[in-house]
């Protein structure tokens, strides 16, 4: 069945003729994730040279390519062609297309250097169903079907291809598919099943009615969005640029390191600044702090003080320095942050704090002060209630810290890993908050989830420019939990 596929090089492959029998095959350099491939193919026989050129243009079936080489070069040339072809497939350079009456229906395109295409033969009397991890999206000027299970994508060329995928939302055999998609013959349907099954885009329906994919205990416990996020923010299953690519350089100006203070007519509250030299001498030993760290969800009857809150924020999140870095600005703060972009911002819902009135505040990390945004209006009260529910419904937090991200601070420079890096930065801030709170004998607790739309409504910020990515609550520690010096 494989000989019925039309084989061709990927569109980004260049064939450069150095001489009449020498060719340089080259793929572009994208990133370290997808390194440049350069093959010097020398002393090529006429038939082999013609076959390579055909692969680099419209492509042809394996049968046609083999006949071309065999007729011109004989068996020695054919053996050499097979060696080259397998090498190209193993390097992820070869696309497999299914044609219908001379028109390309769909094409399998490798998207990872780790792609090792091996054709699996589907059974004509078996039923197959689309993988729950498969998804369709627009990629530039074409529609593609991808899956985090696969090292390849399917490019849909004609309407029948989209119709075919639509039918595979329910289990289908080849015969059933042919009856529902006009113009698809049983042989073509079987070819398509072979291609999709080999690419982990469909799964076989077993005799007991169970989907083969679901029988994998480890795979069954992955949610679609988690596995997709994992596979696309790590290298190995895609060929997208990764890392600090500066894709918006000369296109969009980077955001400044320090967010401008909100334009409000309300008060700005200067916060207490501790003496760090005294803290170095008086703090609990680090190992004691590390071992005593834990989440606390209940508080002392006396709420946290303004002095404690000021010290906590100063030790966790103040700006120590702002520095130029080429076209960007970077800063130094107490917690670690990838690339020193410091895209995270802190907003505080003060519910109960001595000497600070209840309300919604923005923390200005450079001035070390709170900027009052609003009172506990409906949106803010709903955010506070969400924190209570996430806090095992024990009590309302004394202070809820909402961590937002100015996304462009990190997406301007980074590609593929921007959001995963952002979440790692949130984790670094969480740990810093936990350790500082423990050193101060406060009650800290990170929250597992939050409502980013509600945050956007409360702040009036653009959801796509800045919204919440983490939550942390803090208050005074109950007397029975306090450490003894």
**Every domain of the chain and the residues it spans:** 2-91, 103-232, 243-481
Interval 329-356 mean pLDDT? 97
Q: Is residue 20 predicted with pLDDT exceeding 90?
A: no
- b vs e for 257-274, b when ≥16 Cβ sit within 10 Å of the residue's Cβ? bebeebeeeeeebebbee
Q: Report the alpha-carbon distance of residue 441 to residue 432 in Å, rounded.
A: 14
Report the pLDDT value the prediction gives residue 37, as an integer from 0 to 100: 87
Report the pLDDT value the prediction gives residue 484, as an integer from 0 to 100: 63
| 135 close to 228: Cβ distance less than 8 angstroms | yes
**Helices vs strands, H then E, count in the chain:** 14, 23
The fraction of the chain above a pLDDT of 90, given in percent, is: 78
Q: Report the alpha-carbon distance of residue 245 to residue 241 in Å, rounded.
A: 7
Output the CA–CA distances (angstroms, integers) from residue 329 to 201, 244, 326, in the order listed: 44, 15, 8
Interval 433-459 mean pLDDT? 96
Identify the residue whose tokens are 């999140």: 317
**pLDDT tens string 58-90:** 899 999 999 999 999 999 999 999 999 999 999
Interval 186-205 mean pLDDT? 94
Report the pLDDT value the prediction gives residue 327, as an integer from 0 to 100: 87
Report the pLDDT value the prediction gives residue 262, as an integer from 0 to 100: 87
Does residue 14 sit in helix, strand or coil? strand
Q: Is residue 35 predicted with pLDDT exceeding 70?
A: no
Q: Tell me, which fold does domain 103-232 have in CATH?
A: Outer Surface Protein A; domain 3 (3.90.930)
**Minimum mean pLDDT among 1-15, 106-120, 250-264, 469-483: which range?**
1-15
Q: Partners of 126 in the beta sheet?
A: none
Q: Partners of 146 in the beta sheet?
A: 135
Does residue 26 sit in helix, strand or coil? strand
**Sequence-distant (≥ 6) Cβ neighbours of residue 439 within 8 angstroms:** 283, 284, 289
Report the pLDDT value the prediction gives residue 418, as an integer from 0 to 100: 95
Q: Report the alpha-carbon distance of residue 135 to residue 130 in Å, rounded.
A: 9
State the chain's mean pLDDT as an integer: 92
Strands (DSSP E) found in 353-465: 359-364, 369-374, 399-406, 414-415, 442-447
Report the pLDDT value the prediction gives residue 381, as an integer from 0 to 100: 95
Report the pLDDT value the prediction gives residue 1, as an integer from 0 to 100: 41
Structure tokens at 344: 């995270």
Report the pLDDT value the prediction gives residue 485, as an integer from 0 to 100: 60
Report the pLDDT value the prediction gives residue 203, as an integer from 0 to 100: 96
Its pTM stands at 0.89
Residue 382 parent element (H or E)? helix 378-390
Q: Is residue 3 predicted with pLDDT exceeding 60?
A: no
**What is the rounded radius of gyration, in angstroms, for the C-alpha atoms of the chain?**
30
Q: CATH class for domain 243-481?
A: alpha beta
Report the pLDDT value the prediction gives residue 2, as an integer from 0 to 100: 44
């Amino acid at each position: 069945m494989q000989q019925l596929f039309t084989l061709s090089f990927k569109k980004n492959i260049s064939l450069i003729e150095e001489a009449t029998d020498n060719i340089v095959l080259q793929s572009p350099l994208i990133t370290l994730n997808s390194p440049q491939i350069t093959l010097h193919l020398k002393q090529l026989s006429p038939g082999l040279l013609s076959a390579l050129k055909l692969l680099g243009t419209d492509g042809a079936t394996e049968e046609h390519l083999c006949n071309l080489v065999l007729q011109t070069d004989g068996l020695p040339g054919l053996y050499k062609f097979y060696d080259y072809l397998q090498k190209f497939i193993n390097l992820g350079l070869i696309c497999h297309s299914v044609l219908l009456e001379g028109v390309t229906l769909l094409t399998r395109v490798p998207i990872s250097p780790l792609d090792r295409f091996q054709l699996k033969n589907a059974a004509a009397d078996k039923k197959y169903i689309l993988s729950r991890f498969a998804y369709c999206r627009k990629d530039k000027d074409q529609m593609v079907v991808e899956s985090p299970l696969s090292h390849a994508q399917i490019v849909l060329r004609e309407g029948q291809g989209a119709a075919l995928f639509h039918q595979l939302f329910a289990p289908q055999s080849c015969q059933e598919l042919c009856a529902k998609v006009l113009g698809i013959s049983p042989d073509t349907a079987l070819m398509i099943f072979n291609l999709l099954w080999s690419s982990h885009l469909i799964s076989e329906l077993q005799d007991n009615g169970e989907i083969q994919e679901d029988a994998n205990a480890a795979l069954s416990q992955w949610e679609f969005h988690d596995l997709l996020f994992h596979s696309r923010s790590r290298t190995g299953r895609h060929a997208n640029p990764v890392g600090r690519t500066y894709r918006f350089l000369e296109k969009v100006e980077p955001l400044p390191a320090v967010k401008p203070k909100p334009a409000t007519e309300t008060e700005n509250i200067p916060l207490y600044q501790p003496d760090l030299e005294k803290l170095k001498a008086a703090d609990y030993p680090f190992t004691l702090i590390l071992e005593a760290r834990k989440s606390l969800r209940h508080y002392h009857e006396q709420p946290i003080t303004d002095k404690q809150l000021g010290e906590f924020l100063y030790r966790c999140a103040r700006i120590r320095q702002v520095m130029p870095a080429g076209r960007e600005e970077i800063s130094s703060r107490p917690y670690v942050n990838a690339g020193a972009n410091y895209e995270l911002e802190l907003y505080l819902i003060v519910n109960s704090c001595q000497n600070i009135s209840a309300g919604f505040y923005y923390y200005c990390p450079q001035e070390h002060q709170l900027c009052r945004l609003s009172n506990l209006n409906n949106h803010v009260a709903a955010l506070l209630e969400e924190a209570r529910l996430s806090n095992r419904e024990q009590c309302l937090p004394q202070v809820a810290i909402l961590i937002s991200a100015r996304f462009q601070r990190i997406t301007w420079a980074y590609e593929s890993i921007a959001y995963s890096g952002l979440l790692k930065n949130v984790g670094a801030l969480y740990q810093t908050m936990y350790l500082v709170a423990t050193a101060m004998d406060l009650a800290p607790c990170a929250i597992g989830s939050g409502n980013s739309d509600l945050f956007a409504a409360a702040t009036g910020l653009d959801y796509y420019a800045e919204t919440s990515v983490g939550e942390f609550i803090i208050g005074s520690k109950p007397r029975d939990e306090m450490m003894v010096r």
